[in-house]
Chain A
Amino acid sequence: MSRAGTPANPLRDPRDLRLPRIAPPCGLVLFGVTGDLAAHKVMPAIYDLASRGLLPPGFSLVGFARRDWDLAAFTEVVRDSVEAHARTPFREDVWRQLAEGLRFVSGSFDDDAAFERLRETLAELDEERGTGGNHAFYLAIPPSQFAAVADQLQARGLASAPDGGWRRVVVEKPFGHDLASARELNAVLDEVFPRGSVFRIDHYRGKETVQNILAIRFANTLFEPLWNNHYVDHVQITMAEDIGIGSRAGYYDGIGAARDVIQNHLLQLLALVAMEEPTSFEADALVTEKVKALSSVVLPPRLDLATARGQYAAGWAGGHPVAGFHEEEGIPASSTTETYAAITLGVDTRRWAGVPFYLRTGKRLARRVTEIALVFKRAPHLPFAPTMTQELGQNALVIRVQPDEGMTVRFGSKVPGAAMEIRDVSMDFAYGGSFNEESPEAYERLILDVLLGDPPLFPRHEEVELSWRILDPVLAAWARQDAAGRGPQPYASGGWGPESADALLARTDRAWRRP
């Protein structure tokens, strides 16, 4: 495990599985500390890492924002966010260690003097707290501002590390809004930061279950023989949210469900389900297989018949009256942004040819759930009378990503009694029931991976480009529909989406599962 150029540390041994990976001396500069992401996710995750002893002594967190704060005010902000959102209990001694490493730089992204102060602050930290020139820049800001920040960092010489140190940059989705913009964004970052130092965070990938998909598929013999078009009829990948767009109108209008969720999360899940076995669990081997899977994805010829979209209408959801999408503050009446999207994809490989993959996502649906369902073909012959199997559906294997992570297998079983009657039953595996180990929040794992320089959980730019390549024609088709006056269909809040989505599956005699 030695780093290049230094002799192996005799206290480390790959067999020593008790020793946690502790980040090397380093600091994190957080842009956008005033945003929800920083307050709800990033800062609490940093505290949790500290409390688990995974941050190096001397770890420093520098906040950068256009606020007139002094250090005390910033410290208060961090403390509030930690107390409200951290997973691990608040401990004064852990907090004190973390607080010693807090710094704040006030300024806007076009303020040269502010970035000069940032440079001085980092130099001081290297001196005082031994961060050793290792700094990660976390851009928790809208992508439109990436270029400004990247230019400033480059101009101050902050983008490249001194000898023996490193610089990394962390960006959040969305990685662009189409292929062209994704490339542009990538060019901005690539120009300034060395290759391999850009970490794109997609927090679903930190989820244990996503990694568990790989374990289920490739560590067992039980499932893989069924994992193909001989047995699988179709695959449904769902990410439903019960909330509306809330206060995110500014971000959401013009983006919509497909760009917000399908492009990254659902296509990543598709890749994990569809990919072939990687040669190893290493980042490169995984990416190779995922890229192959994404490259094999094809769109059906008639996009109007193979996709559906909708906007939630006012109504009742979960016992509360809710506003419709067009009544949300900041959404113009003319908005054709979809809050529900469903698309049909094919995967043109020997394994998957002929098996449709249905991807759907929406806001203000009946409940919050993310799952992948492999629905199996019916048995080619049933040695039972039709009356016996009336209640027998298709077998299904469902990987529940959230909430209640785990897996469900649905199959038919005899109903006890004199008559022969077969009905569907569920066999449930709850991840939390067998391993109650407190699973770290996705952001903890992701931030630690950034600080350790471990890339496996981060989508590479190739994957981002490929997913836009899949989605772009759909978005173009929808734009044409809009121009023809056929915008997204309204759907009832608190339900399971628009009728057009049901019709989409009904065309091939299929139906969405109720997740």
Chain B
Amino acid sequence: MSTPAGTTTSRLTALDDTSAAAIASALRAARKEAGSPAMGMVLTLVVVVPEADAERALECARRASLAHPARVLAIVEGARRGHGRVDARVGVGDGWSGEIAILTLHGEVVDHADSLVLPLLLPDSPVAVWWPTRTPEDPASDPVGRLAGRRITDVLAAPRGRRTLLERVATHYAPGNTDLSWARITSWRAVLAAALDQAPGAVRGGHVVAERVSPGADLLVAWLSARLGVEIDRRTSSGPGVTEVCLDTASGPLVLARTDGRLATLTIPGRGERRLALPRREVPDLLMEELRRLDEDEIFAEVSARIADDAGGAA
């Protein structure tokens, strides 16, 4: 793993009751001190997170930044009461592959975080925003969300209301939106797509089994039914996560089952049973996948539309 020249470990600089201009100049100073005033970073990643969840989220962002050198702006939301105050810790290195600015907001400035983010965005390059735990009502019209081309939510990590949250995310879909639940099922989708190559003939139906609350399973159901044009049932198991997908093909049932969250068994009609590693993926890994492409995910758009339709029909 290569890190840009000069970004060996250095401590973060603390700035109390500060402003965007002071933060920008501290970043510049830190870069110079690290020996490389040039910027190789290709994107700004904004992490908007409540104070209580900040530490865990930042560790995930740090690991994802190893694959995508970025300026990471962490907006840590403190209490909204009282007069506004911004405390920052900024630096380069220290395990980050780009620059890091942890901005802790207190008081009314919490609702004006965009005024702090805008001056700190890297010139020209793309902006991604990630809400590790709290999903805004409508990510694309959220003040910080509006500044970004990529808006990443995580329905599964929401503190409550996860069952209906996916519908809300789907209903408010806008180009650039995405959810980590979608990345969670990429490896399932890849294996299923490859397996279906070997089971010719139309699929007549199928089912997805997962624990009771599993946005990934709901997305799988929507994706499969949208792509295959058939009814896919959603069934419940004790997990972890998605435990089984079954497709009724013309030549028999095609089953991908994983009960322990690690090893799966794939049964293709007429071709017997194979085992394969299908581990549940960690958040940094999912985040890396999200940052790999910053254009619209059209397949997610279709799946969202499907979920929004179903929700609308049910209501």
Q: How many residues of B contact A (CB 8 A)?
A: 51
Q: Are A11 and B186 in contact (CB under 8 A)?
A: no
Q: Which chain A positions have C-beta within 8 A of B194?
A: 22, 24, 56
- Give 9 CB contacts A-B under 8 Å: A10-B229, A11-B228, A53-B187, A53-B277, A93-B262, A430-B40, A433-B69, A434-B42, A436-B2
A interface list, Cβ under 8 A from B: 3, 6-7, 9-13, 15-20, 22, 24-25, 50-51, 53, 56-58, 91, 93-94, 97, 100, 128-130, 132, 427-430, 432-438
Interface stretch of the complex, out of B26-34, B139-147, B266-274 = B266-274
Q: Which chain A positions have C-beta within 8 A of B97?
A: 436
Q: Which chain B positions have C-beta within 8 A of A435?
A: 42, 68-69
Q: Identify which of A6, A13, A18, A100 contacts B275 (C-beta below 8 A).
A: A100
Q: Are A9 and B277 in contact (CB under 8 A)?
A: no
- Supply 20 further A-B pairs (C-beta < 8 A) apart from A11-B227, A11-B228: A6-B197, A11-B192, A11-B224, A16-B299, A18-B297, A19-B193, A53-B190, A53-B277, A57-B274, A57-B275, A58-B274, A93-B263, A94-B277, A129-B274, A130-B271, A130-B272, A430-B40, A434-B40, A434-B42, A438-B67
With the chains together, A56 CA to B203 CA distance in Å? 21
Q: Identify which of A13, A25, A97, A436 contacts B198 (C-beta below 8 A).
A: A25
B119 at the binding interface (Cβ < 8 Å):
no
Q: Which chain B positions have C-beta within 8 A of A9?
A: 193, 196-197
Q: Which chain A positions have C-beta within 8 A of B47?
A: none
Q: Identify which of B228, B262, B279, B293 contacts A17 (C-beta below 8 A).
A: B293
Q: Are A97 and B228 in contact (CB under 8 A)?
A: no
Q: Are B67 and A436 in contact (CB under 8 A)?
A: yes
Interface positions, chain B 224-258, Cβ under 8 Å from A, are: 224, 227-229
A11/B67 contact (C-beta < 8 A), A17-B293, A430-B4, A433-B4 known: no
CB distance from A284 to the nearest CB of B (A): 24
B83 at the binding interface (Cβ < 8 Å):
no
Q: Which chain A positions have C-beta within 8 A of B298?
A: 15
A93/B69 contact (C-beta < 8 A), A15-B298, A428-B38, A434-B41 known: no
Q: Which chain B positions have C-beta within 8 A of A430?
A: 4-5, 40
Identify the closest chain B residue to A130 (Cβ).
B271
With the chains together, A437 CA to B43 CA distance in Å? 13
Q: Which chain A positions have C-beta within 8 A of B198?
A: 24-25, 132
Interface positions, chain B 173-213, Cβ under 8 Å from A, are: 183, 186-187, 189-194, 196-198, 200, 203
With the chains together, A16 CA to B227 CA distance in Å? 12
Interface positions, chain B 147-195, Cβ under 8 Å from A, are: 183, 186-187, 189-194
With the chains together, A221 CA to B184 CA distance in Å? 39
Q: Are B69 and A7 in contact (CB under 8 A)?
A: no
Q: Are B193 and A12 in contact (CB under 8 A)?
A: yes
Q: Are A6 and B200 in contact (CB under 8 A)?
A: yes
| Residue in A16, A58, A427 whose Cβ sees the most chain B Cβ within 10 Å | A16
Q: Are B190 and A20 in contact (CB under 8 A)?
A: yes
Q: Which chain B positions have C-beta within 8 A of A437?
A: 67-68, 288, 292
Q: Are A97 and B293 in contact (CB under 8 A)?
A: no
CB distance from B126 to the nearest CB of A (A): 12
Q: Identify which of A6, A7, A19, A57 contacts B186 (C-beta below 8 A).
A: A19
7 smallest CB-CB distances across A and B, nearest first, come from A433-B40, A57-B274, A57-B276, A11-B193, A433-B4, A432-B2, A22-B194
With the chains together, A17 CA to B295 CA distance in Å? 10
Q: Are B190 and A19 in contact (CB under 8 A)?
A: yes
With the chains together, A128 CA to B272 CA distance in Å? 8
Q: Which chain B positions have C-beta within 8 A of A24?
A: 194, 197-198
With the chains together, A428 CA to B37 CA distance in Å? 11
CB distance from A261 to the nearest CB of B (A): 25
Q: Which chain A positions have C-beta within 8 A of B314?
A: none
Q: Are B1 and A438 in contact (CB under 8 A)?
A: yes
Q: Are B190 and A22 in contact (CB under 8 A)?
A: yes
Q: Identify which of B224, B266, B277 contacts A91 (C-beta below 8 A).
A: B277
Q: Are B196 and A436 in contact (CB under 8 A)?
A: no
Q: Are B227 and A10 in contact (CB under 8 A)?
A: yes
B66 at the binding interface (Cβ < 8 Å):
yes
Q: Which chain A positions have C-beta within 8 A of B203?
A: 10
B289 at the binding interface (Cβ < 8 Å):
yes
